[in-house]
Amino acid sequence: MRTNKFIGIYQAEGTLWGEIKYVWRKLSTKKSCSLCDITHSGLSEKTNWQSCRAQLPIPFELIHLNERSTELLDVSKGRTPCVLAQSNEGYSMVFDDLQLQNFHGRPEQLIEALNVYLSSQEEA
């Protein structure tokens, strides 16, 4: 299985109402989306996220819950936020929420781990 794209799925809807609900949940419960913590600061993408993502040899797409295809929904349901790998065989989980939390909002740590993941495929 050779990965040709990563897909990050946020724990939020990609609508105005979804964004409002996410901000409200984050402010009222202090619970945030671990993938959002890696890619965003406030309402905009982190500058270092953009430069880190450019270091990957394959695309990394970010989507929201309501933007998932049926196939993506099947793989990620109840496991978001997460990062999936896409290959010719389909989708597989790379990192779930608990694993993403271990990156402590640092884009460089996620990218380093994804590069290690890709290297392990080359060795297999």
Q: Please report the pLDDT score of residue 27 as a whole number.
A: 57
Q: Please report the pLDDT score of residue 89 as a whole number.
A: 94
| Over residues 77-93, mean pLDDT | 96
Asked if pLDDT for residue 76 goes beyond 70, the answer is yes
> How many whole angstroms separate alpha carbon 76 and alpha carbon 92?
9
Q: Give the residue numbers spanning the domain of 72.
A: 5-123
Q: Please report the pLDDT score of residue 112 as a whole number.
A: 97
Express each pLDDT in 28-68 by its tens digit. Answer: 666 678 999 999 887 778 899 999 999 999 999 999 999 99
Asked if pLDDT for residue 115 goes beyond 80, the answer is yes
Asked if pLDDT for residue 70 goes beyond 80, the answer is yes
The proportion of the chain whose per-residue pLDDT surpasses 70, expressed as a percent, equals 83
Mean pLDDT of the chain: 88
Structural domains counted in the chain: 1
What are the residues whose beta carbons fall under 8 Å from the beta carbon of 38, sequence distance 6 or more? 46, 49, 100, 103, 105, 106, 107, 110
> How many whole angstroms separate alpha carbon 39 and alpha carbon 4?
21
